[in-house]
Amino acid sequence: MSFNLWMNSIAEAGRDLLRRSKDNKEDKDIKALCIDLCSNKGEAMGTALACAVVNAYHAMNEKQQLAFFKLLVSDYSPNSDTILRCAEAYKADTSQKNLQALDNAVEPPRQQLFRRINMSPTGTPTLVGMRADLQKYLKDHEDLRAVDNDLKHLLESWFNRGFLKIRSIDWKTPAHILEKLIAYEAVHEMNGWEDLRRRLADDRRCFAFFHPALEDEPLIFVEVALTHGLATAVQPLLAPQTNGQKPEPADTAIFYSISNCQEGLKGISFGNFLIKQVVMELQHELPQLTQFSTLSPIPTFCRWLHKELDNKDSSLINSKERKLLAQIDLENWHQDAALAETLKPVLMRLSAHYLHNEKRGAAPLDPVARFHLGNGARIEQLNWMGDTSKNGLKQSASILANYLYKLNKVEENHEAYINDNVVACSKKFKILLD
């Protein structure tokens, strides 16, 4: 019997107990159901109650969702008096018993509620969806961040690398999964099935992580192009195949799109594991590959640049350059060859500075740079007119970056970045800084 069938049989037994009980708990509101779920210790009844809570949550409108999240704060937060009392007891006597009592007091009761909800066969996807729903209320309801933190804490444990399975995605993959790749693509939008067919062609690879509790829901996927040498622009990679043109033998794997699929797993990183796993899969399948690199966006470069342009005291941009850079807000500026050539050295210098020197704390300001540098890649080069799509012009003034995963240097780069905030980069990139 499969795990899901076993879980469903327990749930059905529990539902039978509920139907035969004098106090039919399925008729209660979600507040009462949560109380019963937390107090019940039987597996079958507990599973049925978890299913009832799941069903009640899915039936909610936004107003009811917000009220439920507020309930999780008011009724399922730790008791401060109990925490202080246990802390004083532990301060007086640092015994294991007092430490355990303090640990129990600090843990929010809603974590136990979430674990009990997870007894439902659809508990895990419901909690992932619940955290996705929660995101839209956080801006106006700061108190709900505690709920978000607790959900993230549990989901990080449930979605650790040991539970994840990598799958190769190709044209033979079931259609309902392929449809989700089209929907979830976050870097370079797909315009239907023909775009997808190109990205699953013989000179392409696609890999995704899945979790047993979300069998047909990819968590994250990466698209790979097999090329000869480093790819410097994304439009040729996305263009339809040309008949009769024999490509040069591939020696490089280009990771050109990495898309997270589940909003409820926001902030839980899978990409670092995925890239390392994909490299191993590709090395096994295609031992002739000698380079592994990304072709990555610089998504917040233009946002930073406009702030720098607004700063009249900026030491990075002189008055002549300020007037010149104002023209990147013109539509189709990149199609004016003379203007583009004049802008190129200024924008390339500033984008190199941005990636290497602009910080959020001690880490790079750019989120893509943080990700790849943290995984042990180095900034290899910047590519002018790398992405001339509307989004590419808006985000990074057409510039893309290659982050090179030099396999014999990955661990060294990672350690230097984590311990000393060193931004690994090539000599070619350093010339732009100079």
Q: CA-to-CA distance for 250 and 286, rounded, in angstroms?
A: 9
Q: State CA 373 to chain mean position distance.
A: 16
Largest distance between two CA atoms of the chain: 82
Q: Which of 259, 293, 296, 398 is catalytic?
A: 296
Task: Judge whether 2 counts as a catalytic residue.
Answer: no
- C-alpha distances in angstroms, 159 versus 52, 103, 151, 410? 24, 23, 12, 24
- C-alpha distances in angstroms, 318 versus 312, 341, 349? 9, 18, 13
Task: Judge whether 372 counts as a catalytic residue.
Answer: yes
Q: Are strands 291-294 and 252-260 parallel, antiparallel or unpaired?
A: parallel
Q: Which of 293, 372, 396, 398 is catalytic?
A: 372
CB-CB neighbours of 283 under 10 Å:
14
Question: Residues of 159-198 as b/e, b for ≥16 C-beta within 10 angstroms?
Answer: beeeebeeeebeeeeeeebbebbeebbebbebeeeebbeb
Residues belonging to the active site? 296, 372
